[in-house]
């Protein structure tokens, strides 16, 4: 191929160089053939978003069609402004952000510590404790929500007012550490080669230092993943906030968006505009997290493993 | 070498020379272990385990959630459960659903993650698209899929007509409705599987795969012999996590078919929700939740057992 | 570097705790006890929300020192939130609850018995429609004040009728005519249906059929609510009407998720819909007309229809709170406010005096064409669904019966008999 084409081509990934270069070239696309797989797959994945976006920028009379027509005749970008004005969304956004960010940080801290201990340390009761933690995932929320509500109320009255019913803390504290986080990080830590940690211990490092200076840097992809997933879970959480929040001041974004959904009629255009705006921070968090999806140091090979 | 000494000292039992030092080591490891797990465990168990015990107590009561009188009725709820044909069929539907959903999501997720595990142009867009499917609100997801599978106006039947295949009734057909829910939820969860597998793929050293390629192994063989085993911890994690969630399916059913048509998509959690908040039989609902709990516990235990043999940890 | 990171971590955790402490602002839930602040949980959106806020502001202005704090809760979710709150003692002063929950809500000890309150002449209890009063009363106890009333009628597409050469439905029409119209309006080639029905098997499925059952002269249960009464010739007639349209004529679009039928009508794909006044504003793209339900000639039941009223329920948070809540609710549901609310939102008037006020119906119809028929149709509401605690279970049985007939899975007679047997065993097992 001419140098002009090569310059335009996407950089050939390292894994395909070398060997591929030695094979005789039949025909080459100006882009990676994986795009041919990813583009249709992505279309299937984001198809509902087309519908959401179109609904958010059309008039309500065009939104009330079935089958949905994805080519509106009249565009209404003011839906976004109208949605923001319909309820104090600035407040909802702030509440959601505070809850989500605090939840992510506390999860990273607590679940990394616990996950590491479950993965590497031997201590009496380790197995039982891990099973107990996993068990908390196995009973549906519809049944546990009333006891959880009562416990939260008790905490608010007896321990920490800010974590009781009707306060933002009640959205953070029950989720400050999740069984998902502990389970996920335990699995991930177990895949790391133990040699680095053992070497550091022999050199006299404390277990905490090993975790902080060796294991966590190697776990960037997993931590980024956990952060993104925890953020998403917290941002989209609806049922628990519905149960514990008692005033519009503490409502989070999903509760705020629900104000567009009446019992008999829903304002679809405003709801979709609200949903799209709510989506933006989640996508932003994920885009940031993707920067950590790099091959970790461990993957670059340990001689003689 | 330094590594073998450290490894060796852990394997020695307490009676051998240096036993006191080992016991001290073991004690400090115990202390460290408990110190590390306590914060997370307290939170998880306080808000997770205590309610579960509470719910167990409620399952032995006659509780309608309305009056504070909740008389103890022993095993009556459980006896009713065993004789309730609706519980049996809900369990059946749940298990069938899980057996279709879990492998389906894992395969789709793995395929997409492998495709997205490369630095080509726009890769950030493709990956974000996968993640975004998790961020979409369930109501939007449900509405779009209800539309896609509408017997008269949906795209799927339109595509079938173009291919000369007969039109299906989908959500109006008790034998197909669960399948539609499977497709809808695989779509909704594949982003999760992609994200998990992507993180795990970062731990697959490219030197190993390249070495295999140089040795003449084909791409598929490399994948099967090297990548898959190295991904097995992630696969176990996904299998366990997806199963736990699949057995507790609720939202998508609630927002689309509401258990219909004719109960074809009534899964266990939907049935217990109806018992609790429409029929006001909360004690009965708790008993059903406990039946489900046993099923999930057994399924998870089996997966961990089987997984132990097939997962490969590099330590 | 390690200790720095540790310090950062500690700082972050400290920040989190500070945020938690700062989060201790705003309590919101009523029960300050003094009667100065009442909390109300409602699910008003759009125009209803605007007008409700307006009325609340007017009340606060007229009653200085009193604060009404409203919390939006989607009506479908209010029950779960109320039940949880009641367990924890944090219930609101007033909540908007579906009428179908009334027989069970009445069992909550904190629900205030309003029988004496509404008996006061100033309230004029009998001014509320009989369907509303029936739903607010459980075993002789009044447990709510009507918040909303509606009914089912037929909304039809005038353009499609003209295209098919059909005369628009007359006020005296029959189900045979409905069936014939539906058949004539069905054009498979352009995927147009004569009518539609929702088939998730929920109460929405059931109450549409119950209207037909009543029009056929039938009853759901016997007068003492101890046995099924729907497995009668009337039950058979009503099921056969539905079956003919769904299975034989294929003139009925079956909506399994209760979501598409309204938009379909608005897209001109459906000729007639049995629905309520709340849907009128959802049809901006079609030229629609409204007619009362058809009748089965010879049954004497006329064009009877069914209504789904909702209640404001008061919870006991102390005498001062209760009396403040009662005062607010009686003001909110007084004729003047009921009229203002109806005119602003298009919701049907909850009081008969408002419906018959001069110029009211004309004004309503000017704002929302077709609603006048729904208003006069309120006179066709003669009875309510059985106000018993086991109704939800009965409804589930009926839903399965109707859907199995609509999907062609069972014959109407067999379905009726099976359902009646199940309902009888439910009634035998329950206490109320």
Chain A from 245 to 304: CB within 8 A of any B CB: 254, 257, 261, 272, 275, 279, 282-283, 286-287, 290, 293-296, 298-301
Q: Which of A191, A230, A259, A302 to mutate to test the interface with B (most CBs of B within 10 A)?
A: A191
- Collapsing DSSP states into helix, strand and coil, what is residue A221? helix
pLDDT in the model for residue B111: 94
**Residues of chain C found within 8 Å of residue B258, distances taken between Cβ atoms:** 200-202, 257-258
> Are A165 and C88 within 8 A, CB to CB?
yes
pLDDT in tens, chain A (305 residues): 333 334 344 444 444 444 444 555 566 777 788 888 899 999 999 999 989 999 999 998 899 998 888 888 999 999 999 999 988 999 999 999 999 999 999 999 999 999 999 999 999 899 999 999 999 999 999 889 999 999 999 999 998 888 889 899 999 999 999 999 999 999 889 888 899 899 998 998 888 999 999 999 989 989 999 999 999 999 999 999 999 999 999 999 999 999 998 877 889 999 999 999 999 999 999 888 888 775 544 443 332 22
pLDDT band at B207 (very low <50, low <70, confident <90, very high): confident
> Are A102 and C19 within 8 A, CB to CB?
yes
pLDDT band at C384 (very low <50, low <70, confident <90, very high): very high
Query: pLDDT of B38-67, one tens digit each?
Result: 999 999 999 999 999 998 999 999 988 888
How buried is B208 (Cβ within 10 angstroms: 0-12 exposed, 13-18 middle, 19+ buried)? middle
pLDDT in the model for residue A16: 46
Mean pLDDT of C205-222: 96
C186 in contact with B, Cβ within 8 Å: no
Query: What span, in angstroms and rounded, lies between the C-alpha atoms of A255 and A233?
Result: 14
> Are C29 and A247 within 8 A, CB to CB?
yes
Query: pLDDT of B261-290, one tens digit each?
Result: 999 999 999 999 999 999 999 999 999 999
pLDDT band at C276 (very low <50, low <70, confident <90, very high): very high
β-pair type (C67-72, C37-42): parallel
> Are A66 and C43 within 8 A, CB to CB?
no
Mean pLDDT of C133-144: 95
**Residues of chain C found within 8 Å of residue B174, distances taken between Cβ atoms:** 407, 409
How far apart are the CA of C229 and the nearest CA of chain B, in angstroms?
21
Smallest CA-to-CA distance from C45 within A84, A267, B139 is with A267
Instruction: Tell me the whole-structure pTM to 2 decimals.
Output: 0.89
> Are C23 and A168 within 8 A, CB to CB?
yes
Mean pLDDT of C330-357: 96
**How many Cβ atoms from other residues are within 10 Å of residue C46's Cβ?**
17
Chain A from 22 to 81: CB within 8 A of any B CB: 31-32, 34-35, 37-38, 41-42, 44-49, 51-52, 66-68
pLDDT in the model for residue C430: 65
pLDDT band at B219 (very low <50, low <70, confident <90, very high): confident
> Are A184 and B313 within 8 A, CB to CB?
no
Residue B275 in contact with residue B285, Cβ under 8 Å? yes
pLDDT in the model for residue A277: 93
Q: Closest residue of B to C197, CA-based?
A: B172
CB burial readout C227-260, b (16+ within 10 A) else e = ebbbbbebbbbbbbbbbbbbeebebbbbbbbbbb
Asked if the ipTM is above 0.90, the reply is no
pLDDT in the model for residue A59: 92
How far apart are the CA of C403 and the nearest CA of chain B, in angstroms?
7
> Are C200 and B68 within 8 A, CB to CB?
no
pLDDT band at C10 (very low <50, low <70, confident <90, very high): low
A169 in contact with C, Cβ within 8 Å: yes
Average pLDDT of chain C?
Answer: 91
Nearest CB to B131: which of A151, A199, A286? A286
How far apart are the CA of B150 and the nearest CA of chain A, in angstroms?
9
Nearest CB to C107: which of B67, B262, B263? B67
Mean pLDDT of C278-303: 94
Chain B from 10 to 49: CB within 8 A of any A CB: 26, 29-34, 36-37, 39-41, 43-49
Nearest CB to C87: which of A149, A260, A262? A149
- Tally DSSP H helices, then E strands, for chain A: 17, 0
Percent of chain C with pLDDT over 90: 88
CB pairs under 8 A between B and C: 83
Nearest CB to B45: which of A136, A199, A294? A136
Chain B from 291 to 310: CB within 8 A of any C CB: none
Smallest CA-to-CA distance from C346 within C281, C262, C288 is with C281
pLDDT in the model for residue B220: 83
**Residues of chain C found within 8 Å of residue A58, distances taken between Cβ atoms:** none
pLDDT in the model for residue C418: 96
- Report in angstroms the alpha-carbon separations of C409 from B24, B92, C285, C369, C401: 73, 21, 36, 40, 10
CA A284 centroid distance within chain: 10
pLDDT in the model for residue C184: 97
Q: Annotate B275-296 with DSSP letters as a single string.
A: HHHTS--HHHHHHHHHHHHHHH
B120 in contact with C, Cβ within 8 Å: no
Instruction: Please name the chains neighbouring A, where neighbouring means 3+ C-beta pairs under 8 angstroms.
Output: B, C
pLDDT in the model for residue B3: 37
Residue B135 in contact with residue A283, Cβ under 8 Å? yes
> Are B257 and C200 within 8 A, CB to CB?
yes
Residue B127: pLDDT over 80: yes
């Amino acid at each position: 191929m001419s140098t002009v084409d090569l310059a335009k081509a996407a950089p050939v990934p390292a894994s395909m160089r070398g060997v591929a270069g030695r094979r005789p070239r039949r025909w080459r696309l100006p882009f990676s053939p994986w795009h041919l797989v990813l583009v249709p797959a992505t279309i299937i994945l984001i198809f509902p978003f087309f519908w959401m976006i179109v609904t958010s920028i059309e008039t309500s009379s065009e939104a009330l069609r079935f089958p949905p027509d994805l080519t509106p005749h009249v565009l209404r970008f003011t839906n976004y402004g109208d949605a923001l004005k319909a309820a104090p969304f600035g407040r909802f956004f702030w509440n959601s952000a505070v809850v989500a960010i605090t939840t992510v940080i506390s999860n990273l801290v607590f679940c990394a510590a616990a996950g590491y201990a479950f993965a590497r340390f031997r201590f009496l009761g380790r197995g039982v404790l891990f099973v107990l933690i996993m068990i908390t995932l196995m009973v549906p929320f519809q049944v546990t929500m009333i006891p959880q509500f009562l416990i939260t109320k008790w905490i608010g009255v007896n321990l920490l007012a800010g974590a009781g019913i009707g306060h933002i803390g009640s959205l953070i504290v029950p989720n400050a550490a999740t069984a998902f986080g502990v389970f996920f990080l335990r699995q991930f830590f177990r895949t790391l080669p133990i040699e680095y940690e053992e070497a550091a211990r022999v050199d006299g490092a404390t277990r905490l230092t090993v975790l902080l200076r060796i294991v966590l840097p190697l776990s960037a992809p997993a931590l980024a993943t956990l952060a993104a997933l925890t953020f998403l879970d917290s941002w989209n959480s609806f049922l628990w906030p519905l149960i514990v929040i008692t005033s519009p001041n503490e409502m989070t974004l999903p509760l705020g968006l629900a104000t567009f959904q009446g019992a008999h009629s829903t304002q679809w255009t405003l709801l979709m505009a609200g949903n799209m705006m709510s989506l933006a921070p989640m996508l932003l968090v994920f885009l940031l997290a993707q920067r950590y999806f790099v091959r970790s140091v461990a993957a670059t090979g340990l001689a003689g493993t | 070498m330094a590594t073998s000494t450290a490894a060796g000292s852990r394997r020695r039992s307490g009676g051998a020379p240096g036993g006191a030092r080992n016991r001290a080591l073991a004690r400090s490891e115990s202390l460290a272990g408990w110190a590390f797990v306590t914060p997370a465990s307290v939170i998880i168990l306080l808000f997770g385990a205590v309610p579960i015990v509470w719910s167990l107590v409620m399952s032995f009561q006659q509780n309608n959630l309305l009056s504070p009188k909740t008389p103890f009725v022993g095993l009556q709820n459980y006896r009713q459960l065993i004789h309730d044909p609706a519980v049996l069929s809900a369990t059946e539907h749940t298990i069938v659903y899980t057996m279709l959903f879990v492998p389906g999501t894992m395969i789709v997720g793995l395929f997409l993650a492998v495709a997205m595990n490369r630095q080509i142009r726009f890769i950030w867009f493709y990956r974000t698209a996968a993640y975004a499917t998790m961020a979409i609100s369930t109501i939007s997801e449900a509405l779009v899929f209800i539309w896609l599978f509408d017997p008269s106006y949906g795209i799927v039947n339109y595509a079938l007509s173009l291919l000369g295949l007969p039109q299906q009734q989908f959500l109006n057909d008790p034998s197909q409705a669960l399948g539609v829910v499977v497709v809808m939820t695989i779509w909704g969860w594949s982003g999760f599987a992609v994200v998990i597998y992507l993180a795990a793929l970062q731990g697959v050293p490219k030197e190993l795969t390249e070495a295999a390629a140089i040795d003449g192994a084909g791409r598929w063989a490399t994948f099967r012999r090297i990548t898959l085993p190295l991904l097995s911890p992630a696969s176990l994690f996904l299998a366990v996590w997806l199963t736990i969630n699949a057995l507790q399916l609720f939202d998508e059913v609630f927002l689309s078919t509401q258990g219909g048509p004719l109960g074809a998509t009534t899964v266990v959690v939907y049935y217990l929700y109806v018992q609790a908040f429409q029929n006001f039989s909360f004690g009965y609902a708790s008993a059903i939740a406990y039946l489900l709990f046993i099923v999930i516990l057994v399924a998870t235990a089996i997966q961990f057992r089987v997984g132990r043999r097939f997962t490969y940890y590099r330590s | 570097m390690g200790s720095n990171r540790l310090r950062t971590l500690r700082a972050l955790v400290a920040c989190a705790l500070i945020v938690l402490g700062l989060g201790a602002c705003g309590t919101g839930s009523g029960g300050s006890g003094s009667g100065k602040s009442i909390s109300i949980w409602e699910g008003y959106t759009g125009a209803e929300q605007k007008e409700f806020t307006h009325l609340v502001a007017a009340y606060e202005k007229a009653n200085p020192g009193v604060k009404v704090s409203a919390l939006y809760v989607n009506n479908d979710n209010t029950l779960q939130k109320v039940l949880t709150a009641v367990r924890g003692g944090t219930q609101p002063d007033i909540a908007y609850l579906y009428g179908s929950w009334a027989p069970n809500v009445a069992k909550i000890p904190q629900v205030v018995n309003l029988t004496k309150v509404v008996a006061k002449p100033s309230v004029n209890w009998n001014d509320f429609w009989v369907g509303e009063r029936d739903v607010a009363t459980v075993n002789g106890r009044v447990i709510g004040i009507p918040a909303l009333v509606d009914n089912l009628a037929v909304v039809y597409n005038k353009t499609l009728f003209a295209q098919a050469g059909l005369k628009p439905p007359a006020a005296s029409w029959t189900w045979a005519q409905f069936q014939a119209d539906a058949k004539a309006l069905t054009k498979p080639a352009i995927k147009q249906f004569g009518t539609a029905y929702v088939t998730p098997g929920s109460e929405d499925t059931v109450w549409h059929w119950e209207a037909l059952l009543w029009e056929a002269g039938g009853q759901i249960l016997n007068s003492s609510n101890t046995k099924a009464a729907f497995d009668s010739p009337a039950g058979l007639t009503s099921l056969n009407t539905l079956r003919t349209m769904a299975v034989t004529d294929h003139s009925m679009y079956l909506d399994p998720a209760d979501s598409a039928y309204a938009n379909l009508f608005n897209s001109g794909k459906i000729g007639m819909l049995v629905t309520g006044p709340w849907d009128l504003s959802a049809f901006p793209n079609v030229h629609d007309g409204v007619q009362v339900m058809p009748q089965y000639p010879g049954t004497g039941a006329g064009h009877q229809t069914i209504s789904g009223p909702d209640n404001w329920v008061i919870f006991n948070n102390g005498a001062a709170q209760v009396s403040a809540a009662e005062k607010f609710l009686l003001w909110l549901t007084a004729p003047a406010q009921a009229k203002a609310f109806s005119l602003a939102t298009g919701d049907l008037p909850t009081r008969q005096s408002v419906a018959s006020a001069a110029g009211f119906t004309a004004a309503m119809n000017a704002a929302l064409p077709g609603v006048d028929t729904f208003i006069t149709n309120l006179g066709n509401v003669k009875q309510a669904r059985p106000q018993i605690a086991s109704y939800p279970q009965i409804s589930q049985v009926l839903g399965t019966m109707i859907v199995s007939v609509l999907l062609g899975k069972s014959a109407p007679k067999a379905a009726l008999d099976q359902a009646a047997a199940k309902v009888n065993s439910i009634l035998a097992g329950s206490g109320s």
